[in-house]
Amino acid sequence: MSETRSEKLINIVMKFVELKGIVALKDGIIYTLPMSLIGSVFLLLAQIPYQPFNDWMAGIFGAGWTEPLFQVYNSTMAIMAIVAVIGIAYMYAKNEGHEPLGAGIIAFAVFLITLDQFATSTGGEVVGGVIPRTWLGGQGMVASIIIGLTVGAVYSWFLTKKITIKMPAGVPQGVSNQFSALIPGLVIITGTMFIFMFFKYALGTTLIGYIFKVLQTPLQGFTDSLIGLIITTALVPFLWWFGVHGNNIVGGVMQGMQIANRLDNQAIIDSGKALTIANGGHIVTDQFMASFVTVGGSGLTLGLAILMIWFSKSDQNKALGGLSIGPGIFNINEPIIFGFPMVMNPLMFIPFVLAPTVSAVVAYFAMRVGLVPLFTGVTVPWTTPPVIGGLIMGGWRMALLQVICIAISVVVYFPFFKKVDAMNVKSEQEAQD
């Protein structure tokens, strides 16, 4: 029996999802989450949008009362590129069945080698022996992804081919692992030195600076564009409709750019400028996706759960709505995805893709025209309920926009829901006869 078109598409998607690099990227980038959330707490405390409180704190602890808070922020959220490069290389080696920490450490060293280890002061004085913080956060994300994947792959190849220093039996495993990393580490780091020389002496730049200019800037521009947002938004429920975890796939590929956009926004604030689009601010960040695209779960199904509770005539739908609304408030919607269901349901394909897409476009223009502020570096856990998350990250206007987006999902789902609900009522009546 020949494969259907949907089966062929699923097979193509699954082959992409199962690529070693995609798996390592998806699993490795997660290591940035704890640092991001912890850093957000201290950043929020340092930037409470209530001047009387700030004045009160300054009166007690002095004008520099925020310095310890920013010290934590700069050592957590502001080093996302370092965390990502270690995590990605680590997960690549781990997924290949090798001792992974060596790969992470080597990737960290390679990342540092690609940097100019000096800084220029505002007065033009060159200060040596320092690591420029510029590249440790958002501006270094694409380079960290490329370096992490490359180091992980090369390191794993050496160990798979057993091109290592083999220690005698009886040597502690921890010691043996470190000697196993010597040959791949030497080759990778030596190769990186020559790459550093090429970019410095032939091109007058660094590898990480070149990647930022040639790759990251256009990619960030794409993720922050309306067309890029629409494609990214629609792709998540599109893949989910086939039963493939759309968030993991799209997020694994795009999240690095969205995090970089968020960190760029915070960098604008840290520089003393107003966070505006004119000053280079980004609309589409990882918080944007969580707040307006996947709020209530992929496909913005919180609106569907509300419909099932308030407007359902089917006992089945009403019961499912009661079971789904609680998890949906915390952005978990598997009960609806597989219980309604959304997967492979031809009647629900259009609203499942359309609801988050319309919500994203409305939120995009609300930010572009200045009705709602851009996201700063502050973020919240993905399970934070809507409205609460909006209040924390952007104040009452952002919380109100979340309510509007949920209302949009109710409107988009309504006619399709009524059709399915009527079909279920008919089936229930026939079962009782």
Please report which residue ranges of 62-171 form alpha helices under DSSP H.
67-74, 80-95, 101-113, 141-160
Give, as one character, the DSSP assignment of residue 245: -
Helix or strand run (H / E) with residue 96: none
Neighbouring residues of 41: CB distance < 8 A, sequence distance ≥ 6? none
The neighbour count for residue 214, using CB atoms within 10 Å, is 11
Cis peptide before 168 (omega within 30 of 0): no
Q: What is the pLDDT along the chain (433 residues), one digit of tens a residue?
A: 345 666 676 677 677 777 899 889 888 988 988 888 898 888 888 888 778 888 888 899 888 899 999 999 889 988 989 999 999 999 999 999 999 999 999 999 999 999 988 877 777 788 888 888 889 988 898 899 999 999 999 999 999 999 988 777 666 777 777 788 899 999 999 999 999 999 999 999 999 999 999 988 898 999 999 999 999 999 999 988 877 777 777 877 788 889 899 999 999 998 889 999 999 999 999 999 999 999 998 999 999 999 999 999 999 899 999 999 999 999 988 889 988 889 888 899 999 999 999 999 999 999 999 999 999 999 988 889 999 999 999 999 999 999 999 999 999 999 999 999 999 998 888 877 6
* The pLDDT of residue 3: 56
**Is the CB of residue 80 less than 8 Å from the CB of residue 138?**
yes
Please state the pTM of the whole predicted model: 0.79
pLDDT, one tens digit per residue, over 372-385 is 999 999 998 888 99
Concatenated DSSP letters of 17-78? HT-HHHHHHHHHHTTHHHHHHHHHHHHHHHT-S-HHHHHHHHHHH-TTTTHHHHHHHHTTGG
Q: Which residue do the tokens 């960098």 mark? A: 267
* The pLDDT of residue 170: 65
Residue 119: strand, helix, or coil: strand
Residues 14/97/89/187 CA torsion (nearest 10 deg)? -120
